[in-house]
Structure 1
Amino acid sequence: MASPLTLAGIAALLASTCCVLPLIFAVVGVSGAWIGQLRRMEPYSYPLTALAAASLLVAGWRIWRSATPDAAQCEAEACVRSNAAARRWFWALAALTVLPIALNQSAHLFY
């Protein structure tokens, strides 16, 4: 279950490198000419966002699918805790995936 979530997280972070990361650096107060080099990742933003969305779909299917016979073998409390943690990570990564898309669509409002 961690594999699709990990892939979605890495893809979402890389997709946001060109657009969201410079904005975050500016808000925090980090600046420099090197930030302009992050624009080199812009052509890869949409494919990486698509990869993150596909990974989130697979992870969501694995997290919320109906119980299988293998689920009866684990202890009830341990399964609930691990599933709750996976759901929290899923929603955090979903927000991280939507952020570059929303920022690209609303960037004209800021300039």
Structure 2
Amino acid sequence: MTQKDRGRWNLAGAIVAGVGASACCFGPLILLGLGISGTWIASLTALEPYRPLFIALVAMFLLLAFRRLYRNEKTCDDGQACAIPEVRRRQRFIFWSVGVILLVVLALPDIAPYLLGY
């Protein structure tokens, strides 16, 4: 597996784990936003006990991606994509953008009551 593929897998894993960590509240919030409601929505919280595990996975994948972007600069040979400053800058921008989005998604279960007004 190339270094580029490993970096993509780290970010993809963080995104999937972030969505899993907020699935207990994110799904019902979307359904309520679409006007779909009912008592069965309360049963969509089945993933709530696994939320800490998903949060740990998000942290692990983000740390791996961070290490890959900022700590392994010396292992990049000339001629590889990671040696090009524009590519490195774009990768870091994507990393921080995904990181901010994941923080919002992870915080959603805690801020949802304020957003919904109860």
Offset at residue 48 of structure 1 (A): 0.2
Mapping 1:2-17, distance limit 5 Å = 2-17=8-23
Could you tell me how far apart the structure 2 residues matched to 1:88 and 1:31 are?
Answer: 38
Offset at residue 107 of structure 1 (A): 5.0
Indicate the residue corresponding to 1:93 in structure 2. Answer: 98
- Percent identical pairs in the alignment equals 32
- Within the candidate set 43, 54, 65, 2:60 is matched to 54
Offset at residue 66 of structure 1 (A): 5.5
Could you tell me how far apart the structure 1 residues matched to 2:17 and 2:62 are?
Answer: 10
Offset at residue 100 of structure 1 (A): 4.4
Change (3 A) 1:40 1:69: closer
Aligned length: 109
Q: Could you list the per-position Cα deviations for residues 25-53 of structure 1 after superposition, in whole angstroms to 9, with x for gaps in the alignment?
A: 32233445553332001111111011101
- Matched residue SS, 2:46: helix
Q: Could you list the per-position Cα deviations for residues 45-100 of structure 1 after superposition, in whole angstroms to 9, with x for gaps in the alignment?
A: 111011101110110111123522434222665x623651x334323332333224
**Does 2:82 match 1:65?**
no
RMSD value over aligned CA atoms?
2.7
For normalisation by structure 1, the TM-score amounts to 0.73
Unaligned stretches of 5+ in structure 1? none
Could you tell me how far apart the structure 1 residues matched to 2:75 and 2:94 are?
Answer: 25
